Amino acid sequence: MQQGDGTEAQVTWEDQQNINRFGRLNNRLHELHDEIKLAKEANENLDDAGNELILSDEDVVRFQIGEVFAHMPRDDVETRLEQMKEDAAKKLERLEEEKESIVSQMAELKKILYGKFKDAINLEED
């Protein structure tokens, strides 16, 4: 591998493992961005459903379970909706924590790899 000053840096097995790990973390980061986006949309949809339920004056409402709508008492739907909101919020929080962990791991790997290879390696996104 050629460095910017014309000297060649040897890529050791450990270096290759760090490069591979960085690549896997980068792929997971992209997957997490998509999962976080979907989780945020799910949270918004649950909030919208809760708001619609508040505006409804019916005692029995339609509630979607899978691909089927079932008629359920309003109180049961409110309880289920609150549980779904809590679960969705926990999932989003877990995804955000995983994202932060990956970003910090990638930053550490960047320090190591740029420290050795300087401008001979590019770890930045285009």
Question: How many domains does the chain fold into?
Answer: 1
Q: Is residue 125 part of a domain?
A: no
**41 domain-assigned:** yes
Q: Per-residue pLDDT for the chain (126 aa), expressed as one digit of tens each?
A: 444 454 567 889 999 999 999 999 999 999 999 999 999 999 999 999 999 998 988 899 998 888 999 999 999 999 999 999 999 999 999 999 999 999 999 999 999 999 999 888 888 887
Q: Which residues, in sequence order, are CB contacts of 4 under 8 Å at separation 6+?
A: 118, 119, 120
Residue 44 maps to which CATH number?
Answer: 1.10.287.370
Helices (H), 1-126: 13-55, 74-117
Question: pTM of whole model > 0.75?
Answer: yes
